[in-house]
Amino acid sequence: MNQAPVHLSDRKPLTMAVIGAGPVGLALALQAARNLPHAQISVFDARPLDRDVAGDPRTLALSLGSVQLLERLGAWNAESAQPIKEVQVSQAPPTLRRPFGLDVGEPEVRITAQELGLEQLGAVLGYGQVLAPLQAAWLSLAAQQPQRLFSRFGTAVNALKPIASAQQSGVEVDAGIVDTFDLAVVAEGGVFTDQARKTLSHDYRQTAWVGQLTLSADSPQGAAYERFTRSGPLALLPLRSEGGERRAALVWCVSADDDEVAGLSDSQRLLVLQHLLPAQVGRITGISPLKHFALGLNAERTLVQGRSVRIGNAAQTLHPVAGQGMNLGLRDAFALVQALRQHGDLDAALRSVEWQRAPDRWSTLLVTDFLARSFTWQWPGLPAARGLALAALQAMPALKTALARQMIFGRR
């Protein structure tokens, strides 16, 4: 049965439920509140409002595009962020310096903000340092406009039920009390192991070990490193210095079936990391206790299902190899609000956002999946081919710049 149309210009305001008050959900709610002045927006989250979110230590790497989006919302914590000035992608030995008879030296791709004409490539900061300003901005705006902006913290959503009849269209949101909304946006993702499996799902059989390193004072400030090892990618993300110490966030991905990290002491982990990382990193002087989680792909084929939209990790949970999960989610959120603002009909807006987001979403998903799966392949010559690809990319500035800008701003 066809759904009854909802015209966004009608006197009856658009009613929107945002389920999940993480960075992506709150960014969506703020953007919608400011750009859709007649919309009634309700934010749901099981987290109680009095819980301190600022201290969440998880590390986020945000592209410059994401930083600019948060700045436009007035919710960017510049004092806590460490700008990324340079990214180096390389391959750890053993590798062939002369793959297929070609002398490529140590295979590496180096991207700097200066060569792209940018002040920075992105920034690194704690999850809580991203979330706290967004939550404060939303609560402040909701207090100013209590007649149309509603905060439902401490309220878990149990189920969504689509409504489609000749008289009424929308979504029933069951949060103890059932309310009906024209549009429900799910931005509550979680981690791979806790999620129900979506249409596209694959367990990479990899484990990510995360924590922090302290580095010697001569370590470059603002440099991020991605190192391809035989068991998975290894990333270092620069953090703000504390007490004069250089710090970096660590993401160390290894095979879950042959976990080389689990049985090591902290001192042994430090020695292995020093061996795996490029010399430019400098000397590692300390390592924090590491936490670990499983890695997998879990994605919907489409963002839109009737009058429900999924964004961020609720739409696609990705491997961290390209660091694009949060950035992709923020672009989902802003594109949805833009479509709602531009189209007079809700269903036309949802069709538009599905088509508009597809190239960026699918190119990011496919590249990330390819890179993640490649570390499980045991093909002869694969390290040589990967090294040759890195060397070739470094030798083609136009292609390198195009790929870098896509990672920074998304595919446009």
DSSP 8-state assignment for residue 13: P
Categorize the per-residue pLDDT at 390 as very low, low, confident or very high, splitting at 50, 70 and 90: confident
User: What tokens does 71 get?
Assistant: 């700045």
User: Residue with structure tokens 């140590």?
Assistant: 106
Look up the pTM and report it: 0.91
Q: Cβ contacts of residue 280 below 8 Å, gap of 6+?
A: 88, 220, 223, 225
The stretch 241-246 carries a mean pLDDT of: 83
CATH class name, domain 15-56+127-198+300-371 = alpha beta
**pLDDT 10s digits, 341-381:** 999 799 999 999 999 999 999 999 999 998 888 877 767 77
d(CA 172, CA 180): 4
Q: How many CB atoms lie within 10 A of CB 101?
A: 6
Residue 8 has pLDDT above 70, yes or no: no
**pLDDT 10s digits, 148-178:** 999 999 999 999 999 977 667 899 999 999 9
The sheet carrying 59-63 orders its strands as: 59-63, 122-126, 82-84
**pLDDT 10s digits, 313-330:** 999 999 998 788 899 999
The stretch 264-268 carries a mean pLDDT of: 96
pLDDT of residue 105: 58
**pLDDT 10s digits, 76-104:** 999 999 999 999 999 887 555 554 455 54
Segments making up each domain of the chain, as ranges: 15-56+127-198+300-371, 78-124+204-295+376-409
Is 78-124+204-295+376-409 a CATH 3.30.9.10 domain? yes
Q: Are 411 and 332 in contact (CB under 8 A)?
A: no
Residue 293 has pLDDT above 60, yes or no: yes
